[in-house]
């Protein structure tokens, strides 16, 4: 019970942080070390051995990567730190997005040999979007090719960040011996392999000049963005350690700079000072602006982090748990809630009962009696709540801003092997869809197949694997399908008339619409230019809805239509027979005719691909990309490696991971994200349409 009491610290002593980076930069390893040094674990787990606490799913252990964001709680110097370890693989960016939505701060980890890598750039931009304060940790200083200055410079060049190194390494690669603390001007050395014994020593003479130069540079960088240090700097006064810490805290919370630490998580070096940085520089819930929400009438409401305020929380993740059923992850923004109480899901306006409240430690749990402002917790008992819903007490009505989720780019057909599997499949899919907002599942009306759509091949591969292992559903999997789109390529004016007279009340809808191409990054735009009441205003929304519904199925091959502007210019109505339904049908008839006359074209997703490879394989890799209709955008040097940036149609990238492995003897890797949609070349379109 003592431990549970200790979970409730004052709000200013609470840190809700995430750990974010490119795949394989050492996020999970760093988290393991944090848990070890804060006393949450008595031995260190390893990603390579499949014993990492935070990678608890069997798929994570096998692949050595993080797939879901795991949550845990630990303590450091009187502070409670809630940590969410997020995935680095691009197929799971939705996990990063929803974690950043509820976090107060983050540690960005970079590989000292590679600096800023493509996925670290993506998560950094996501953190910018949610204005999450960050500190940085340059990891793997012991690795061959480690270069601290290069890694820091890459933050400036690729992220337009303002890094402020507060440490520099003593040596690098196999000579990495410790770090120099530029604020205290001491060397920190670790005396044993476990990293539990560390000492602060005077800086050796051979490092003194470099350390003084780096400290001067640090103070200059702080002075650039902090008035108090700037004043001291201009007066030639040396700031004290307390003044520097206070300035770095102000800068970090305001998003004006990023304190940079260094070390090697694997060698147990650099973790304690990093934890000091979390406590010193990252914000508590009290340091951040209030959260925005809306009341029943759509008026803005500000939610402040007060334990005696109304209870307001945000559901940011759903997890199917084999033992307790549905587990809802909540971030509490205000108030206090006791177990057994009822709450209102204000997004759906339904009542929910909270049967259990849990503090999370990866896949282990600690039951508690109540939760309060600032907490990140698991709740058992909520049946209707999904990701993005707001939860309030029964007297309060606030809806917090929702998250937006990306559209899937790839799909597969799955079918159950036996009748028994068929029964299990719908239940399993329902659980997975609740967990993962970037996954879609639907039944193809023409073929009757169940289609799964997701963010990439690995994403769908993991989902199928989970269906088999977690839910015991055996499925056959069809070939991956690309999420093509259709559009029109020239302006057309069409008429839609729906008239049914059959005794009694008839149906009458008549519209004249001008359709024209829009830029492909826009789906649809509707403009009403009718004058003189030729069509009564109450029917206009039905006309727009009729076109939108018709756009779900294109004329060429039944793919959704994008990039269309519809301008309603004329039409007519009947006093008695006109109805919303009649105008909806007339509008869809006008759209279908426009698709036939407007020179329809097929569009395909174009992916931004970055391949990182040793120099000797570059020629073969470029030749292979060219054979995949790639447009090579840029070639860069990153440390000892070369980076090929290209735009490639998704349809050409299936199985690329295997090809790249054989082209580079397993030494190259790549990341792929959706860039845009583009018209399919005529010859390729012919082949695609023949297959349909």
- Binding residue numbers for GTP: 21-28, 85-89, 139-142
Query: b/e per residue, 475-490, with b = 16+ CB within 10 A?
Result: beebebebbbbbbbee
Q: How many CB atoms lie within 10 A of CB 425?
A: 21
Helix (H) or strand (E) holding 689: helix 682-691
Query: b/e per residue, 146-161, with b = 16+ CB within 10 A?
Result: bbbebbbebbeebbeb
- Under DSSP, the state recorded for 408 is P
Closest CA to 577 of 639, 638, 653, 497: 497
d(CA 206, CA 70): 43
Query: Which CA distances in Å does 407 have to 171, 232, 298?
Result: 46, 51, 27
Closest CA to 123 of 84, 150, 153, 149: 84
Residue 437 tokens read as 């907002």
Residue 42 tokens read as 């008595």
Closest CA to 274 of 360, 177, 181: 181
Q: Where are the alpha helices (DSSP H) in 384-508?
A: 419-435, 457-469
Query: Which CA distances in Å does 218 have to 178, 203, 225, 249, 578?
Result: 19, 17, 12, 14, 73
Contact status, residue 373 vs residue 306, Cβ threshold 8 Å? yes
d(CA 362, CA 364): 6
d(CA 50, CA 605): 35
Cβ burial of 551 (10 Å; 0-12, 13-18, 19+) is buried
Contact status, residue 246 vs residue 122, Cβ threshold 8 Å? no
E strand intervals along 158-299: 163-165, 167-170, 178-181, 186-190, 198-201, 258-262, 291-294
d(CA 429, CA 432): 5
d(CA 195, CA 340): 44
**Count of helix runs (H) and strand runs (E) in the chain:** 17, 38
Closest CA to 567 of 513, 531, 520, 523: 513
Q: Where are the alpha helices (DSSP H) in 562-647?
A: 580-597, 618-626
Binding site: what residues are annotated? 21-28, 85-89, 139-142
Cβ burial of 445 (10 Å; 0-12, 13-18, 19+) is exposed
Residue pointed to by tokens 């306006």: 349
DSSP characters for 268-307?
A: TBSHHHHHHHHHHHSPPGGGSPPEEEE-TTS-EEEE---T
């Amino acid at each position: 019970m003592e431990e549970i009491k200790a979970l409730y610290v004052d709000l200013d002593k609470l840190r809700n942080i995430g750990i974010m980076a490119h795949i394989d930069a050492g996020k999970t390893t760093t988290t393991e070390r944090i848990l070890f040094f804060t006393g949450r674990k008595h031995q260190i787990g390893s990603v390579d051995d499949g014993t990492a606490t935070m990678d608890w799913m069997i798929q994570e252990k096998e692949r050595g990567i993080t797939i879901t964001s795991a949550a845990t709680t630990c303590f450091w110097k009187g502070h409670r730190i809630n940590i969410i370890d997020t995935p680095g693989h691009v197929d799971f960016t939705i996990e990063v997005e929803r974690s950043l939505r509820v976090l107060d701060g983050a540690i960005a980890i970079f590989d000292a040999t590679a600096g800023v890598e493509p996925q670290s750039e993506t998560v950094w931009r996501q953190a910018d979007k949610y204005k999450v304060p960050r500190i940085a940790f340059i990891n793997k200083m012991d690795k061959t090719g480690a270069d601290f200055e290069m890694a820091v410079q890459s933050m400036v060049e690729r992220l337009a960040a303002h890094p402020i190194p507060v440490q520099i390494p003593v040596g690098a690669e196999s000579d990495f011996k410790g770090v120099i603390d530029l604020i205290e001007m001491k060397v920190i050395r670790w005396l044993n392999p476990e990293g539990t014994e560390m000492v602060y020593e005077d800086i050796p003479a051979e490092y003194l000049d470099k350390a003084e130069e780096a400290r001067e540079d640090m103070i200059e960088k702080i002075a650039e963005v902090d008035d108090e240090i700037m004043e001291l700097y201009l007066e030639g006064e040396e700031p004290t350690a307390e003044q520097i810490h206070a300035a770095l805290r102000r800068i970090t919370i305001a998003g004006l700079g990023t304190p940079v630490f260094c070390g090697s998580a694997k060698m147990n070096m650099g973790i304690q000072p990093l934890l000091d940085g979390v406590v010193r520089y990252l914000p508590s819930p009290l340091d951040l602006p209030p959260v925005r929400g809306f009341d029943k009438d759509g008026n803005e409401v500000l939610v402040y982090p007060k334990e005696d305020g109304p209870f307001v929380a945000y559901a940011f993740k759903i997890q199917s748990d084999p033992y307790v059923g549905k587990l809802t992850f909540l971030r509490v923004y205000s108030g206090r809630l006791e177990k057994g109480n009822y709450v209102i899901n204000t997004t759906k306006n339904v009542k929910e009962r909270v049967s259990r409240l849990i503090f999370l430690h990866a896949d282990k749990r600690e039951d508690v009696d109540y939760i309060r402002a600032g907490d990140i917790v698991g709740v058992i008992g909520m049946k209707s709540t999904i990701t993005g819903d707001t939860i309030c007490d029964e007297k309060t009505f606030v809806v917090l801003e929702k998250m937006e989720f990306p559209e899937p780019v790839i799909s597969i057909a799955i079918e159950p092997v036996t009748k028994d599997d068929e029964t299990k499949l719908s239940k399993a899919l329902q659980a997975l869809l609740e967990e993962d907002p970037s996954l879609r599942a639907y039944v193809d009306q023409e073929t009757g197949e169940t289609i799964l759509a997701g963010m990439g091949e690995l994403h769908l591969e993991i989902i199928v694997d989970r269906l088999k292992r977690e839910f015991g559903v055996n499925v056959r999997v069809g070939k991956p399908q690309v999420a093509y789109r259709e559009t029109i390529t020239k302006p057309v004016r069409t008429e839609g008339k729906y008239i049914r007279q059959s005794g009694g009340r008839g149906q009458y809808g008549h519209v004249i619409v001008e359709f024209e191409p829009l830029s492909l990054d826009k789906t649809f735009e509707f403009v009403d230019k009718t004058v003189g009441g030729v069509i009564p205003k109450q029917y206009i929304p039905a006309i727009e809805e009729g076109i939108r519904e018709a756009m779900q199925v294109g004329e060429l091959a039944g793919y959704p239509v994008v990039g269309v502007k519809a301008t309603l210019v004329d039409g007519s109505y009947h006093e008695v027979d006109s109805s919303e339904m009649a105008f909806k049908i007339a509008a869809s008839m006008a759209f279908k005719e426009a698709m036939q006359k407007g020179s329809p074209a097929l569009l395909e997703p174009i992916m931004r691909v970055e391949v990182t490879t040793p120099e000797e394989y570059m020629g073969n890799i470029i030749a292979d990309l060219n054979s995949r209709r790639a447009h090579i955008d840029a070639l860069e040097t990153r440390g000892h490696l070369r980076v090929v940036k290209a735009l490639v149609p998704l349809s050409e990238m299936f199985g690329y991971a295997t090809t790249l492995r054989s082209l580079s003897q397993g030494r190259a890797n790549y990341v792929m994200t959706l860039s845009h949609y583009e018209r399919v070349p005529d010859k390729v379109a012919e082949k695609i349409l023949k297959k349909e």
